[in-house]
Amino acid sequence: MIDAKQVLHVARLARLELAPEDVQPMADELSSILGHIEQMSSLDLEGVKPTTHVVPVEGVLRADEAEAPLPREVALSQAPKHSETGFLVPSPQA
């Protein structure tokens, strides 16, 4: 199961914030879901191969041929903050 400390660690990894009063309820909620999920551990899965994909596709590759890039003003148009040439972000070093 998952405790409050792990919840805070996971939230940080996911760049989410939990109000102090929401941490324990989140731990309880996730624990109840994980409790159900852990029914899987009753299965004998020794030697069973994992399935990542069910598609019977042998990866088709792309030829090294170029398409037109987006016009820069289009590329920047949906950004919350941008200059004429780039996307603006708070400095990671601040």
Partner 1 sequence: MSVADYDITIGLEIHVQLATKTKMFSPIETYFGADPNTLVGPVDLGLPGTLPVPNAQAIHYGIMLGLAFNCAIADRLVFHRKNYFYPDLPKGYQISQFDEPLCGPGNFGGVRIHRVHLEEDAAKLTHAGSSGRIHDSDASVVDFNRGGTSLAEIVTEPDIHSAEQASEWLRLLRTTVRQLGVSDVNMEEGSLRCDANISIAPKGSGVLGAKTELKNMNSFRFIERGIRAEVARQAAILDAGDTVEQETLHFDPRTEAITSMRSKEDAHDYRYFPEPDMVPVVVTSEMVDKAKAAMPELPHEREARFEALGVEPGAARQMSWQPELGDLFEEALAADPAHAKALAALITNELVARLEDGDLTQSKATPASLAQLVALTADGKVSTSGARTVLDTLVASGGDPAQIIEAEGLGAIGGGDELTPIIQAALDANPDVAEKLRGGDMKPIGVIIGAVMKETRGRADGKEVTKIARGLLGL
Partner 2 sequence: MAQSESITAAIKTTATEQIAAIQAGALDARELFDAYRERAAADPNNAFTWVASETPAELPAASTPLAGLPVAIKDLFCTEGVPSQSGSKLLEGYLPPYTATAVQKLIDAGSTSHGKTNQDEFAMGSSNENSAFGAVLNPWDPSRVPGGSSGGSAAAVAAGQAPWALGTDTGGSIRQPAAFCGLVGLKPTYGSVSRFGMIAFASSLDQAGPITRSVADAALLLSHMEGKDPRDMTSIGLREPIEVPTRTDLTGLRIGVPEELSGEGIDPGVRASFEAALEQAKALGATISTIHLPNAPHALSAYYVLAPAEASSNLSRFDGVRYGNRLEAEDGSLIGMYTRTRTEGFGAEVKRRIMLGTYALSAGFYDAYYGRAQQVRTKIVEDFADAFSQVDLIATPTAPTTAYELGAKSSDPLSMYLGDFCTVPMSLAGIPAISIPSGLADGLPVGLQLAGPAFSENLILGAAHALEQAIGFDTAGAIR
CB under 5 to 8 A by kind: which of partner 1, partner 2, none does 58 bind? Answer: partner 1
Binding to partner 2, residues 75-94 (CB under 8 A): 75, 77-81, 87, 89-92, 94
Compute the least distance from the CB of residue 3 to partner 1, in Å: 17
82 phi and psi angles, rounded to 5 deg:
-155, 160
- Spatial contact of 33 and 7, defined as CB atoms under 8 Å apart: no
d(CA 94, CA 80): 20
Residue at 82: amino acid letter: H
The terminus-to-terminus CA distance of the chain in angstroms comes to 36
Q: Which is nearer to partner 1, 44 or 80 (CB)?
A: 80
Residue 17 binds partner 1 (CB under 8 A): no
SS3 82: strand
Contact residues for partner 1, defined by CB under 8 A: 9, 12-13, 15, 52-53, 55, 57-67, 69-70, 72, 75-76, 81, 83, 85-94
